[in-house]
Amino acid sequence: WGKPSDKIEEGILGNKRILLLRRHGKQFKFPPHLINYRANIAALRELGASAIIATAAVGGIAAEVGKIVLPDQIIDYTYGRESTFFEGGDTPLKHIDFSYPYDKRIREKIISAATAKSIILIESGTYGATQGPRLETAAEIQKLRKDGCHIVGMTGMPEACLAKEMEIPYATMAIVVNPAAGLCEGEILLSDMEKILSQGYEICMDILKTVEL
Ligand code: HPA
Protein backbone atom coordinates (compact mmCIF):
# COMPACT_ATOMS: atom_id res chain seq x y z
CA TRP A 1 0.00 0.00 0.00
CA GLY A 2 3.04 2.26 -0.16
CA LYS A 3 4.76 4.12 2.62
CA PRO A 4 3.13 5.30 5.84
CA SER A 5 3.21 9.04 6.55
CA ASP A 6 6.19 8.86 8.87
CA LYS A 7 8.45 6.54 10.85
CA ILE A 8 6.41 4.76 13.48
CA GLU A 9 7.80 5.34 16.96
CA GLU A 10 7.52 2.66 19.58
CA GLY A 11 7.49 3.34 23.30
CA ILE A 12 5.80 2.87 26.64
CA LEU A 13 2.97 5.10 27.83
CA GLY A 14 1.71 4.31 31.32
CA ASN A 15 1.79 0.52 31.33
CA LYS A 16 1.19 0.01 27.62
CA ARG A 17 3.40 -0.55 24.63
CA ILE A 18 2.40 2.08 22.11
CA LEU A 19 3.13 2.88 18.50
CA LEU A 20 2.96 6.52 17.49
CA LEU A 21 2.33 7.55 13.91
CA ARG A 22 1.89 11.15 12.78
CA ARG A 23 -0.66 10.91 9.97
CA HIS A 24 0.44 14.22 8.45
CA GLY A 25 4.13 13.28 8.61
CA LYS A 26 6.90 15.55 9.81
CA GLN A 27 6.41 19.28 9.13
CA PHE A 28 2.86 18.50 8.01
CA LYS A 29 4.12 16.98 4.76
CA PHE A 30 0.82 15.31 3.88
CA PRO A 31 -2.38 17.36 3.77
CA PRO A 32 -5.56 15.45 4.68
CA HIS A 33 -6.49 14.55 1.08
CA LEU A 34 -2.99 13.20 0.30
CA ILE A 35 -2.40 11.02 3.35
CA ASN A 36 -1.79 7.38 2.46
CA TYR A 37 -4.41 6.13 4.92
CA ARG A 38 -4.13 2.56 3.68
CA ALA A 39 -0.36 2.43 4.23
CA ASN A 40 -0.78 3.92 7.72
CA ILE A 41 -3.41 1.42 8.85
CA ALA A 42 -1.67 -1.54 7.19
CA ALA A 43 1.65 -0.62 8.86
CA LEU A 44 0.04 -0.35 12.30
CA ARG A 45 -1.54 -3.73 11.81
CA GLU A 46 1.70 -5.27 10.64
CA LEU A 47 3.38 -3.99 13.82
CA GLY A 48 0.69 -5.65 15.91
CA ALA A 49 -1.55 -2.73 16.94
CA SER A 50 -4.46 -4.17 18.92
CA ALA A 51 -6.35 -0.85 18.93
CA ILE A 52 -6.04 2.56 17.32
CA ILE A 53 -6.79 5.73 19.22
CA ALA A 54 -6.61 8.67 16.86
CA THR A 55 -6.29 12.29 17.88
CA ALA A 56 -7.66 14.88 15.49
CA ALA A 57 -8.20 18.62 15.28
CA VAL A 58 -11.77 19.53 14.37
CA GLY A 59 -14.03 22.51 13.98
CA GLY A 60 -16.96 22.81 16.38
CA ILE A 61 -20.51 22.87 14.98
CA ALA A 62 -22.25 21.94 18.22
CA ALA A 63 -19.21 21.74 20.48
CA GLU A 64 -17.23 24.53 22.11
CA VAL A 65 -13.63 25.37 21.32
CA GLY A 66 -11.23 23.63 23.72
CA LYS A 67 -13.50 20.64 24.32
CA ILE A 68 -12.49 17.08 23.51
CA VAL A 69 -15.17 15.04 21.76
CA LEU A 70 -15.31 11.27 21.51
CA PRO A 71 -17.43 10.81 18.39
CA ASP A 72 -19.65 7.76 18.06
CA GLN A 73 -20.83 8.40 14.50
CA ILE A 74 -19.41 9.70 11.28
CA ILE A 75 -20.74 11.08 8.00
CA ASP A 76 -18.38 10.90 5.05
CA TYR A 77 -18.28 13.88 2.68
CA THR A 78 -14.83 13.10 1.29
CA TYR A 79 -14.21 12.03 -2.30
CA GLY A 80 -11.45 10.59 -4.43
CA ARG A 81 -9.62 8.95 -1.52
CA GLU A 82 -8.49 5.32 -1.55
CA SER A 83 -11.02 4.07 0.95
CA THR A 84 -10.80 0.29 0.90
CA PHE A 85 -8.28 -2.54 0.95
CA PHE A 86 -10.53 -4.50 -1.40
CA GLU A 87 -9.21 -4.04 -4.89
CA GLY A 88 -10.97 -6.82 -6.74
CA GLY A 89 -8.96 -9.69 -8.17
CA ASP A 90 -8.49 -12.72 -5.93
CA THR A 91 -9.09 -11.00 -2.58
CA PRO A 92 -12.58 -12.04 -1.49
CA LEU A 93 -14.76 -8.97 -0.99
CA LYS A 94 -16.20 -8.28 2.42
CA HIS A 95 -18.85 -5.61 2.92
CA ILE A 96 -17.89 -4.57 6.44
CA ASP A 97 -20.64 -3.62 8.86
CA PHE A 98 -19.96 0.07 9.46
CA SER A 99 -23.14 0.90 11.42
CA TYR A 100 -21.01 1.84 14.41
CA PRO A 101 -17.67 3.12 13.11
CA TYR A 102 -16.07 3.76 16.50
CA ASP A 103 -15.34 0.93 18.90
CA LYS A 104 -17.66 1.00 21.90
CA ARG A 105 -15.29 -0.76 24.30
CA ILE A 106 -12.34 1.53 23.53
CA ARG A 107 -14.58 4.60 23.85
CA GLU A 108 -15.77 3.42 27.24
CA LYS A 109 -12.18 2.84 28.37
CA ILE A 110 -11.27 6.38 27.34
CA ILE A 111 -14.29 7.78 29.19
CA SER A 112 -13.36 5.84 32.37
CA ALA A 113 -9.74 7.02 32.23
CA ALA A 114 -10.87 10.64 31.74
CA THR A 115 -13.46 10.40 34.54
CA ALA A 116 -10.83 9.03 36.94
CA LYS A 117 -8.76 12.15 36.24
CA SER A 118 -11.79 14.47 36.43
CA ILE A 119 -11.30 15.44 32.80
CA ILE A 120 -14.57 16.30 31.09
CA LEU A 121 -15.10 14.86 27.63
CA ILE A 122 -18.08 15.19 25.31
CA GLU A 123 -18.90 11.50 25.24
CA SER A 124 -20.63 11.24 21.88
CA GLY A 125 -21.14 13.14 18.66
CA THR A 126 -21.19 12.88 14.89
CA TYR A 127 -18.02 13.69 13.00
CA GLY A 128 -18.53 15.17 9.54
CA ALA A 129 -15.51 14.23 7.43
CA THR A 130 -14.87 16.82 4.72
CA GLN A 131 -12.41 16.74 1.85
CA GLY A 132 -10.34 19.85 2.53
CA PRO A 133 -7.76 21.15 2.44
CA ARG A 134 -9.87 24.29 2.36
CA LEU A 135 -12.18 24.94 5.27
CA GLU A 136 -15.93 24.81 4.63
CA THR A 137 -18.30 27.59 3.60
CA ALA A 138 -20.79 28.86 6.17
CA ALA A 139 -23.59 27.26 4.10
CA GLU A 140 -21.80 23.90 4.04
CA ILE A 141 -21.57 24.02 7.83
CA GLN A 142 -25.31 24.73 8.04
CA LYS A 143 -25.91 21.69 5.83
CA LEU A 144 -23.65 19.57 8.04
CA ARG A 145 -25.51 20.83 11.10
CA LYS A 146 -28.84 19.84 9.54
CA ASP A 147 -27.35 16.45 8.70
CA GLY A 148 -26.64 16.02 12.41
CA CYS A 149 -22.88 16.68 12.55
CA HIS A 150 -21.51 18.09 15.80
CA ILE A 151 -17.90 18.45 14.68
CA VAL A 152 -16.11 18.70 11.35
CA GLY A 153 -12.68 17.47 10.35
CA MET A 154 -10.73 16.27 7.34
CA THR A 155 -9.01 13.05 8.41
CA GLY A 156 -11.76 10.90 9.92
CA MET A 157 -12.39 9.08 6.66
CA PRO A 158 -11.28 6.75 5.24
CA GLU A 159 -9.18 6.10 8.36
CA ALA A 160 -12.12 4.74 10.35
CA CYS A 161 -13.37 2.30 7.72
CA LEU A 162 -9.89 1.08 6.83
CA ALA A 163 -9.28 0.25 10.50
CA LYS A 164 -12.60 -1.60 10.49
CA GLU A 165 -11.63 -3.55 7.38
CA MET A 166 -8.42 -4.55 9.15
CA GLU A 167 -10.48 -5.48 12.24
CA ILE A 168 -8.58 -3.07 14.48
CA PRO A 169 -10.84 -1.44 17.09
CA TYR A 170 -10.71 2.31 16.42
CA ALA A 171 -11.68 5.44 18.34
CA THR A 172 -10.98 9.16 17.93
CA MET A 173 -10.33 11.89 20.46
CA ALA A 174 -11.32 15.04 18.58
CA ILE A 175 -9.99 18.35 19.85
CA VAL A 176 -12.22 21.30 18.95
CA VAL A 177 -9.77 23.98 17.82
CA ASN A 178 -12.09 26.53 16.16
CA PRO A 179 -15.75 27.33 15.72
CA ALA A 180 -16.75 25.95 12.30
CA ALA A 181 -17.19 28.35 9.37
CA GLY A 182 -19.83 31.02 9.86
CA LEU A 183 -20.13 30.35 13.59
CA CYS A 184 -17.64 32.99 14.68
CA GLU A 185 -16.80 36.58 13.98
CA GLY A 186 -13.89 37.10 11.63
CA GLU A 187 -11.61 34.72 9.83
CA ILE A 188 -10.63 31.25 11.01
CA LEU A 189 -6.87 31.41 11.45
CA LEU A 190 -4.51 28.47 11.74
CA SER A 191 -2.38 30.44 14.18
CA ASP A 192 -5.37 30.62 16.58
CA MET A 193 -5.86 26.86 16.39
CA GLU A 194 -2.31 25.80 17.18
CA LYS A 195 -2.22 26.70 20.87
CA ILE A 196 -5.58 25.06 21.55
CA LEU A 197 -4.46 21.99 19.62
CA SER A 198 -1.28 21.54 21.63
CA GLN A 199 -3.14 22.02 24.93
CA GLY A 200 -5.78 19.52 23.81
CA TYR A 201 -3.13 17.06 22.70
CA GLU A 202 -1.48 17.17 26.14
CA ILE A 203 -4.85 16.39 27.74
CA CYS A 204 -5.39 13.48 25.32
CA MET A 205 -1.94 12.08 26.17
CA ASP A 206 -2.68 12.43 29.87
CA ILE A 207 -5.86 10.39 29.41
CA LEU A 208 -4.10 7.84 27.22
CA LYS A 209 -1.48 7.21 29.92
CA THR A 210 -4.08 5.54 32.08
CA VAL A 211 -6.41 4.00 29.49
CA GLU A 212 -6.54 0.31 30.18
CA LEU A 213 -7.07 -1.59 26.96
N1 HPA B 1 -13.17 22.19 9.34
C2 HPA B 1 -12.56 21.08 8.89
N3 HPA B 1 -11.48 20.57 9.46
C4 HPA B 1 -10.98 21.19 10.53
C5 HPA B 1 -11.55 22.35 11.05
C6 HPA B 1 -12.72 22.88 10.42
O7 HPA B 1 -13.29 23.92 10.82
N8 HPA B 1 -10.81 22.71 12.12
C9 HPA B 1 -9.83 21.78 12.24
N10 HPA B 1 -9.92 20.86 11.29
Alpha carbon of 170 to ligand 1 centroid (Å): 20
Q: What percent of the chain has pLDDT over 70?
A: 100
Residue 155's SS3 state is coil
Q: Contact at 8 Å (CB) between 175 and 197? A: yes
* Whether residue 93 has pLDDT greater than 90: no
With the most atoms of ligand 1 within 8 angstroms of its CB, the residue from 130, 152, 175, 195 to mutate is 152
Alpha carbons 180 and 135: distance in angstroms, whole number: 8
- CA-wise closest residue to 20 among 35, 31, 5: 5
pLDDT band at 94 (very low <50, low <70, confident <90, very high): confident
Provide Rg for the chain, Cα atoms: 17
pTM of the model: 0.96
With the most atoms of ligand 1 within 8 angstroms of its CB, the residue from 24, 33, 145, 178 to mutate is 178
Ligand 1 atom at shortest distance from the alpha carbon of 60: 7
| Ligand 1 pocket check for 130: Cβ under 6 Å | yes
Query: pLDDT tens digits, residue range 8-27?
Result: 999 999 889 999 999 999 98
